[in-house]
Amino acid sequence: MNQLQATPLKTLSLSGRWSGGAAARPRRPMVAFRPSAAERSYNITLLPGDGIGPEVVAVAKDALSLVGSKEGFELRFQEMLMGGAALDAVGVPLPDETLAAARASDAILLGAIGGYKWDNNEKHLKPETGLLSIRAGLGVFANLRPATVLPQLVDASTLKKEVAEGVDIMVVRELTGGIYFGKPRGFGTNDKGDEIGFNTELYAVSEIDRIARVAFEVARKRGGKLCSVDKANVLEASMLWRKRVTAIASEFPDVELSHMYVDNAAMQLVRNPKQFDTIVTNNIFGDILSDEASMITGSIGMLPSASVGESGPGLFEPIHGSAPDIAGQDKANPLATILSAAMLLKYGLGIESAAKRIEAAVTATLDNGFRTGDIYSPGTTLVGCKRMGEEVLKALESQK
């Protein structure tokens, strides 16, 4: 799997439109933000994972350390095993020690998990099972995925320039419910003797209501438009989803709510992506649509994400995969992970000034013409993962 691209939050709607102040430490009303004033030392759990994960996490760690020294706070890092690396070392994709360390930390930065080596493992021994388990274990139910077309990279989009230019979308995906977690699930035999596989798309009112409120809050601080995506013409779970999102809308009269079936949404994202501001949807639809939206930007290797809950630490990670075909070759684009680190600072620790420093450094690096292979175009300077990280650090160093 080739690694693709990400988005500097300085140009992202995340930093431009969402002011997102920190709430009190015990409970954060929308998503879990942490205060920055009283505490100047934080524990960060690093989960490098598999493939290119260790390469990009190492670069992001350097950026975090540098910005901490410039802003006057300390970050203490603890590296733990997860995914295929954990399977090889201890036989499970998410060791108990890793989950315990993550829960005890202030925020978690994840690289990537998975690879061809483990594709034929039984389900409970797949790296991806570790990812689902840590999301559930941390209670992070809201996944925020921005997809913004940067002026520096508009020509990298596969869409026509007039279609891609100015796109700024936030996908809010429900992360811990739906068909990925619903039961019953498994394998069996039908009355004809045929082997079958089955899963359950299941949502409770409380699960829908809490993700809807997060999405309305996000939309309120962006462009004031929220599109709820479902399949309410066919699926009962989606019928309840639409009913509850419509009900929650009465709490946010300043936000314009619309509904769209998922098949139409997939088409409209390619046809006219600028019609969307904030999208909220269930787990499986969000998984697919956020990847589609990311490709409008030109490369999945540029896009960060945040997974947050009502309390406890958040999980921050690039949306790209482990890209085992380029792992260890210094070809990975580290910017998505660096920008995930910026989201960690802003939404995980509540230190927005530090997040802005990293965002600005990424923007400056792109303005200076440095590109990894996934975003390279004639006239720019082709660099590897380490060099791209070094250029971001130089841009950070040069800041006052």
List residues with catalytic annotation.
180, 231, 263, 287, 291
For 261, the token pair is: 């079936």
- Encoding tokens for residue 223? 């462009």
- What's the DSSP call for residue 124? G
Of 388, 357, 390, nearest to 374 by C-alpha is 388
Give per-residue burial for 154-166: e unless 16+ CB within 10 Å, then b. bebbebeeebbee
Q: DSSP letter for 342, please.
A: H
21: left (phi over 0), alpha (psi -120 to 50) or beta: beta
Q: Which two tokens stand for residue 77?
A: 């890092």
Q: What is the DSSP letter of 116?
A: G
Give the span between the Cα atoms of 324 and 3, in whole angstroms: 9
One-letter amino acid at 367 equals D
Strands (E), 22-106: 41-49, 74-79
Spatial distance between the Cα atoms of 19 and 221, rounded to a whole number of angstroms? 7
Q: Which residue type does 299 have?
A: S
C-alpha separations of 301 from 78, 355, 357, 379 in Å? 25, 19, 20, 20
Sequence-distant (≥ 6) Cβ neighbours of residue 323 within 8 angstroms: 1, 2, 3, 51, 52, 112, 332
Q: Cα–Cα distance between 382 and 172 in angstroms, integer?
A: 33
Sign for the CA dihedral angle at 11, 13, 15, 16 comes to positive
Cα 345 to its chain centre, rounded Å, is: 14
Q: Please enumerate in sequence order all residues whose Cβ is within 8 A of that of 26, keeping only pairs 6 or more positions apart, or say none.
A: 311
Taking alpha carbons only, the member of 287, 178, 279, 296 closest to residue 237 is 178
Report the SS3 class of residue 153.
helix
